[in-house]
Structure 1
Amino acid sequence: MSFLNSPFLWLLPLAGIPLLIHWLSRRFPKTFLFSSIEDIRRTVAGRSRLFRWRHLIMLLLRTLALLALVGAFLKPVIASRAPADGKEGRRVLLLVDHSLSMTHADGGTTALSRAKGEARRLLDSLDPADHFNVIRVDASPAAAFVEFSTLRDAAMAFLEDSAPPVGTADFHAANQLAAELARDQKGQLDVYYFSDFQRGNWADVAFSSLPSDARLFFVSAAGEKQRGNRAVSGIRIAEGAVIAGGEIELSIRVANHSPDPWSGKIEAGFDPAHLREREVTLSPWSETDATLVVPVPAGGLQKLTVTLPPDDMPLDDKRHLVVQVRDREEVVLLTGPDAAGGSPAPSLFLRTAVDPYGGEKGVYRPRPLEPGALTPAALSASTRVIGSRLPLLGDDQAGTLATFLRGGGGMILFLDGESDRANLDKLSGLLGEELPLRLTEKLGSENLPGGAMQVASGDFRSRFLRLFENERRQNLALLEFYDLYHAMPTGKGRTLLSYADGTPALTESQIGLGTLLVCNFSVSEASSNLARQRLFPAWIHEMLLRMGDSTNAAMESFVPGDTISGEAWAAEATGRDLIAPPSTKTIVRRDPAGERLRVTFTAPAPGFYRLPGGDGRDLLAFAVNPDPRESDLRSIDPAVLPDRAGGSNSGAAYVGETADYGVLLRGRPVFHWFLLGALGLLLVEAMLFKTLKPRTA
């Protein structure tokens, strides 16, 4: 036990006043004048042994009562540790959660504002001699002072002047920083955590780095009600190129971290003038992938944004993505003469499928090319080739195709010519690897059951068969093929589609950086009904889009606090400023590297960061988004944290949402018990005075 008014301990000798009075009473007895024998008897009774014991007991009670009154004036407290030194004071550390989850506004008040208010109350409760420090706990925890201080206003200004939180809180690193600050401090340490205890930030916090005799206090700032939140937690686009003027299918991950169901619209688009929206319904505590098709603008680095209706934590209701969009591409239609093959040439069907709109409105621009004109120069401006009804290729022509594929080009080859077997063998020899199928004989309708063959199975995980996902797979049953090659699979590459007898219908080969798709059928009307199906142009576009580029057009996404870098041509980037989100201060480092310029910066907030070029297109663009883990606001039970920390810190305690910091700092006051004790002693003394009176014989 200690005393808050310890400077007044000199009053304790006052408790000896009753003893002094008693001693004076014995030294100078009272003189009585007896006028009768009754007075003599009373005097004799007053000097009896019983009267002397009564006098001593009352002396003791009065002394104890006065001692209790003096003790109450000294404000005694019962503390769990030794009292702070009057000169050095206490050592107190305040760790304030500065993560995105703390910005959730519950009833108009955020958890961060409640945490700051509690920190202010704690600082106001400290004694003038107490020293403290404040740690702002975010992804990179920072302290207000390099050593413990007594500047309360400066500590609060450190918290108030910090940028709004946008990321996670690393309490493990914060504990290590706290241990470093307390290493050279004398005396015991009190550590206070002000947080919403969001489980993503507190799942694996360790306290072993803190001093073993430190007292840990956990103060909740989340409020009593369970907090709900909605968020866009991810955007995914299919692999392959995204072409200007076309469309892109988005898979948007939407989360409802709330105990209530939710229905609302999501919006997505590259610019406000071409937004697309969709209604989404989510059950409590659930996530879903919503599909949305949006138009693609001009080529270059385009900025895609997906938004939800705003809620109590609006920062994660929007998600950004930078997409590399290619300009309208040229597709080479490598077809033989119309008379070759003995049936109408499929060139017209292929040209219409590649450019169904005509007039330079489509994503691809077809360019017919005869096999005799096949040279490296003819393919220099193209990355896509469709071959059909090919005659026997010469060594130079086959070598040009092999080089084109190794360099990253993509080719769709329809097996509907008389020299397909020889061409595949020659191409396989030049490539130095076996293709997925080996042709045997050509089968006509007279050799097929029922006069036509249908697709029986497929590897629908392939990016080239996305058109037939889920219920759209039934469209394959509409296709009939009247002539094809009987072929044997070689076990190389991938067989994507197969006929009922096991013959490969569609195979994929990765040739160097490129892709070769071999279609064991024809689009000619005499050979199949494929060209008459509505899915034919869409399937051709799907294969062109996915082939030759297995990478994702979506650029890497970052989180606040990440260090981002990119390179551009120095001649284009010199003198141009990086454009950051509004109200964001970004320091950019520029490092020349020959003819290139490397730009490096740290992103402090979500949004788009871009370096514009002179032609209106961005030379560099980056998307920064909140960490999806911060969107789930469910908290761990802070009452379990003292047990987790108890292995190394026996003084850990959960103090709830509002704490009496005076009690935590100094101990529990017990002066009222001293007052009650004094009153009780005086009451007993009064009763003894009334009952134990001297009696005459």
Structure 2
Amino acid sequence: MQFLLANPAWLWLLSLGLVPVLVHLFARSNPPKYAFSSTEFLRRILKKTARMRKPQDWLLLLLRTLAVLALLFVFLQPLLTGGGEALPGKKTTVYLIDRSASMACKEGASSRFDGACAKAVELMDSAGGDDANVVWIDAQPEAVFPQPGQNIAYLQDALKRGSGRAEQGAIAAALSLALGQLNLVEGARELVIISDFQASAWKEFQLQVPKDIKVVKVRVGDEDTGNLAVSELFATPSNPVVGQDVVMVCRLRNFSDTPRRTTLYLESGGGRQSRDVEVPAWGEAEANFSSHFASPGQVQLSASIGEDAFTGDNTRHALVQVRDTLKMVSLPAAKGSAREQAVEVLDRLAASLEWLDHSVVESGALPSSDSADFVFVHAWDGENTEALKALAAAGTSVFVHPAAGVTLTDCQSLLDVPVSSGSQPLAMDTKGSWKAGISRKSDANAKVFELFKTGEFGNPAAGSFKERLRLPSAWPETVTHLIDYNDDVPGLLAAPAANVIIWNLPLSNSLSSWSGQSSFVPFMGELLLNSRASQKGVSAEVLPGTPLSWAPGEGVTPDSVTLFDDANTAQPTETRMTATGAQLTSTGTAAPGVYQWKIGDGLAHVQVSNFPATESDLRLMDPAEVQGGEVVDSQQLLRRAALGDGIPLWPWFLCAAFLFLILESLVSMWKPKPAN
């Protein structure tokens, strides 16, 4: 057994035990009253009233001194321990250590992660020979040991060699792994969570831990750190054709209470552009760069800003798949009809636009979104509305030319706007000749009309039209009027959110002269390119902390493929056979950067991994706000670990102090009073 103090820093308080002794020695007593007639009595009085006198009430002095010392020992918190071993048995501790991306934030010379590992090493040193283990909080949580053990030296070495990960931490999965190990052991069990308690990650998390497992939360990181991050990078359209203008959108986030100004650099296809950007406090700023690409293939984009205190999110990557052609599919086309003539017009259009391929599906079955960029439904009868909407939602732009008998409800449903109660078929005007042009309700500055601003190409809907569906002129704000007839009957109605266009301009030569006008091909080219769904190219993006994989396809042997990282270092891979063929998977996990799959010296496929945007907000929260467990200062936890699970003695000292004070009062009452 050992007698130890939990608060040895307060040991100086024991010096206060001399106070009752000094008070007893130096206290001035009231002398008795004597009637005197000579100086003998004066000498007796002076002797008894001297400042310094010998103690006479030894029992009172002893009781008072013991009472004061007992109270002082209450503050020192003495414990009775078992000589380095926990009482009554050993304890198993699992250290849940955060190594997610925010832990790389530096405060001074070291990072939060370094501080967390250093604290864990100290705690293990102080805990003695108890069983322990370490579970990492990252994208795919893992434990150092399969189960807690006594090889503390190995755990400490793993902590010293550990490094942070640019990943989002899977807190729930890490907690489940730690509790799974603790549930398999007996005796005292403790879970120590060491984290920066980043607010964005922990705010909504609740610690659901069995009551017999003690939970201790230790925070590393002393203050919130301001940060400027590249939060998003994408191109629109995400898969342009050769020569098409592409807008590369870069967004910056400012996680601080002061405005920040920085220089943003964008690299694309070997070119480099820059722009100064002002980002408001706790706000976002967007910078757009324009470019076009001369050859098909994957083009890498990289946006970066100058270094700050947190460098992990200063760069972001994206991929643009530049295509040589876009595919349009027409369905169906009955021979000898106006629909067949319309298909022929689209064939001639594709011949005039080198980037457009046009084909016809005779069966009327809808193509897949992967096989068509545009679908043109001729003489739509109001059927397959949901299938068309699903195709548009998947990224294929849908053009629908309604036939006679279609109702307003059919058109409203396709455009995804509120449906009216009426279901009467819309009238078809077949006798007359109408002119059309840019709608007065349309935005003349829209990109689709940019080519026609100078007037060089004239009216984009020049010509006369002999047949049209009598659509109402009033539509909700979510529907855009592109082309209207002179009497405000809509000619082209677009629902950008739904990726659908109602086509009310006949294409056949027998019903219009539009396709023969010089403005027809330029307008159709602009319409097709600008009506494509603005999807962000994320198909080749891999989350940090997950493996990279690629299926090379037929004719490529897996042994001929090598994966390279940003530093052009080959990464180990393994081959798995799937139902669709061989699939290559990296044995390690992805970190932020660009990865290239090469066959020999040739580039076959590119993938990117980006810093998780949720980890850029470095604001911390009080661990007490995380439901469950006890918040303990690291120094206090070290003292606890050093003392073990000893028996606290301070309650006994508190009782002893009260007992001594009571005895002192009783003795004072029994003391005989001096005679007058």
Letter in 2 for 1:201: A
SS in 1 for 2:555: helix
CA distance in 1, matches of 2:142, 2:374: 56
CA distance in 2, matches of 1:92, 1:661: 14
- Correspondence 1:105 to 2:90: no
Indicate conservation of the 8 Å contact 2:327/2:373, yes or no.
no
The residue correspondences of 1:183-262 to structure 2 (distance < 5 A) are 183-208=183-208, 210-224=209-223, 226-239=224-237, 241-262=239-260
Letter in 2 for 1:123: M
Indicate conservation of the 8 Å contact 2:231/2:253, yes or no.
yes
Question: Which of these residues, 541, 562, 565, is aligned with residue 549 of structure 2?
Answer: 565
Deviation string 1:379-428 (CA, Å, 9 cap, x unpaired) is: xx97446xxxxxxxxxxxx9789999969567899xxxxxxxxx977x99
Letter in 2 for 1:314: T
CA distance in 1, matches of 2:453, 2:193: 56
Aligned to 1:117: 118
CA distance in 2, matches of 1:412, 1:76: 80
Aligned to 1:39: none
Deviation string 1:518-557 (CA, Å, 9 cap, x unpaired) is: 76799xxx989x979xxx9986554343568887665342
Letter in 2 for 1:131: D
CA distance in 2, matches of 1:297, 1:483: 35
CA distance in 1, matches of 2:283, 2:495: 40
CA distance in 2, matches of 1:527, 1:221: 71
SS in 1 for 2:288: strand
Aligned to 2:263: 265
Aligned to 2:566: 581
Indicate conservation of the 8 Å contact 1:219/1:658, yes or no.
no
- Could you tell me how far 1:98 is from its partner in structure 2? 0.5
CA separation of 1:570 and 1:307: change in aligned 2, threshold 3 A: same
CA distance in 2, matches of 1:99, 1:159: 15
Structure 1 unaligned regions, length at least 5 = 7-53, 333-349, 355-365, 370-380, 386-397, 414-422
SS in 2 for 1:237: strand
Indicate conservation of the 8 Å contact 1:560/1:605, yes or no.
yes
Question: Which of these residues, 264, 283, 291, is aligned with residue 286 of structure 1?
Answer: 283
Aligned to 1:179: 179
- Could you tell me how far 1:99 is from its partner in structure 2? 0.4
CA separation of 1:531 and 1:219: change in aligned 2, threshold 3 A: farther
CA separation of 1:60 and 1:262: change in aligned 2, threshold 3 A: closer
Aligned to 1:497: 483
The residue correspondences of 1:162-177 to structure 2 (distance < 5 A) are 162-177=162-177
CA separation of 1:664 and 1:89: change in aligned 2, threshold 3 A: same
- Could you tell me how far 1:662 is from its partner in structure 2? 0.6
Letter in 1 for 2:257: P
CA separation of 1:2 and 1:443: change in aligned 2, threshold 3 A: farther
CA distance in 1, matches of 2:98, 2:144: 14
CA separation of 1:443 and 1:232: change in aligned 2, threshold 3 A: farther
Deviation string 1:567-590 (CA, Å, 9 cap, x unpaired) is: 223433541211123397844222
- Correspondence 1:318 to 2:315: yes
CA separation of 1:405 and 1:500: change in aligned 2, threshold 3 A: farther
SS in 1 for 2:146: coil
- Correspondence 1:599 to 2:584: yes
Deviation string 1:441-485 (CA, Å, 9 cap, x unpaired) is: 6877xx87xxx854123499xxx965469xx99999x95866432
SS in 1 for 2:121: helix
Aligned to 1:436: 402
Letter in 2 for 1:266: L
Aligned to 2:611: 626
Aligned to 1:18: none
Aligned to 2:631: 653
SS in 1 for 2:222: coil
- Could you tell me how far 1:288 is from its partner in structure 2? 3.1
Question: Which of these residues, 566, 581, 598, is aligned with residue 612 of structure 1?
Answer: 598
Aligned to 1:138: 138
Indicate conservation of the 8 Å contact 1:436/1:495, yes or no.
no
Letter in 2 for 1:302: V
- Could you tell me how far 1:319 is from its partner in structure 2? 1.4
Indicate conservation of the 8 Å contact 1:78/1:669, yes or no.
yes
Indicate conservation of the 8 Å contact 1:270/1:297, yes or no.
no
Q: How much identity, in percent, do the aligned residues show?
A: 23
SS in 2 for 1:568: coil
SS in 1 for 2:231: strand
CA separation of 1:133 and 1:250: change in aligned 2, threshold 3 A: same
Letter in 2 for 1:94: Y
Letter in 2 for 1:566: W
Q: Give the alignment's TM-score, normalised by structure 1.
A: 0.62
Aligned to 2:335: none
CA distance in 1, matches of 2:569, 2:80: 48
RMSD: 5.7
Q: Give the alignment's TM-score, normalised by structure 2.
A: 0.64
Deviation string 1:627-662 (CA, Å, 9 cap, x unpaired) is: 211111122222323xx21xxx5xx2343x654521
Indicate conservation of the 8 Å contact 1:270/1:296, yes or no.
no
- Correspondence 1:456 to 2:465: no
Kindly name which structure, 1 or 2, has the bigger radius of gyration based on alpha carbons: 1
